[in-house]
């Protein structure tokens, strides 16, 4: 597996090609939305930023070391919303859990997770997912996370072969 070096601030993303991706470290305070390469959706951006901010605060309060990265390719950028180094999880937020949103999230998580060996994949949702969404996520070994009151609920995938 190839290892990627962080992109220096002085390097331009415009010189990047898809065959030479780089990982850029972001501050946890950097805005997660609008996400590069995605059509602007103010309502979606607000909902996802809110749940990401709350989840980041939740993890930090529990003593987790949380990082943010962007996998840079040209002309598109894929980004991890959070990487929980303590739990070893790549986390992406989504305000929807319909089939097309799940397919998209699965693709982005799979693409980003390849740069973080042994990382589990998690989808942070703004609301509890329905049974079909939970089954989809479990089948694809993706942890579902959503807010409930002042905390977060986690639905872990079923063990392979179950």
- Give the ranges where 68-162 is alpha helix by DSSP (H): 99-113, 131-139
Q: Three-state DSSP class for 84? A: strand
* 84 vs 67: which has the higher pLDDT: 84
CA gap 71, 111 in Å, rounded: 9
Determine contact, residues 40/34, Cβ cutoff 8 Å: yes
What digits encode the pLDDT tens for the residues 17-74? 445 556 666 666 666 555 555 555 677 778 888 898 899 889 999 999 887 766 665 5
Q: What is the mean pLDDT of the chain?
A: 77
Output the pLDDT for position 22: 60
Distance CA 134, CA 6 (A): 34
**pLDDT of amino acid 154:** 97
Token readout for 106 is 């699965």
Confidence category of residue 120, pLDDT binned at 50, 70, 90 = very high
Say which residue, 133 or 4, is predicted with more confidence.
Answer: 133
pTM for the predicted model, two decimal places = 0.75
| Alpha-carbon distances of 128 from 57, 89, 115, 150, rounded to whole Å | 19, 19, 28, 14
Domain 42-66+81-162 falls in which CATH fold?
Rossmann fold (3.40.50)
User: Looking at residue 148, what is its pLDDT?
Assistant: 96
């Amino acid at each position: 597996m190839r290892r990627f070096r962080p992109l220096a601030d002085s390097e331009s993303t415009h010189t990047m090609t898809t065959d030479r991706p780089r990982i850029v470290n972001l501050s946890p305070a950097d805005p997660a939305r609008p996400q590069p390469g995605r059509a602007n959706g103010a309502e979606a951006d607000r909902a996802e930023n809110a749940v990401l901010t709350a989840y980041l605060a939740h993890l930090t309060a529990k003593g987790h070391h949380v990082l943010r990265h962007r996998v840079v390719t040209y002309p598109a950028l894929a980004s991890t919303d959070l990487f929980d180094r303590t739990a070893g999880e790549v986390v992406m937020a989504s305000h929807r859990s319909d089939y097309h949103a799940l397919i998209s999230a699965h693709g982005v998580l799979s693409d980003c997770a390849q740069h973080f060996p042994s990382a589990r994949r998690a989808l942070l949702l703004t609301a509890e997912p329905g049974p079909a969404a939970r089954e989809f996520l479990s089948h694809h070994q993706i942890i579902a996370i959503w807010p409930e009151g002042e905390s977060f609920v986690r639905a872990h995938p079923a063990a392979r072969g179950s």
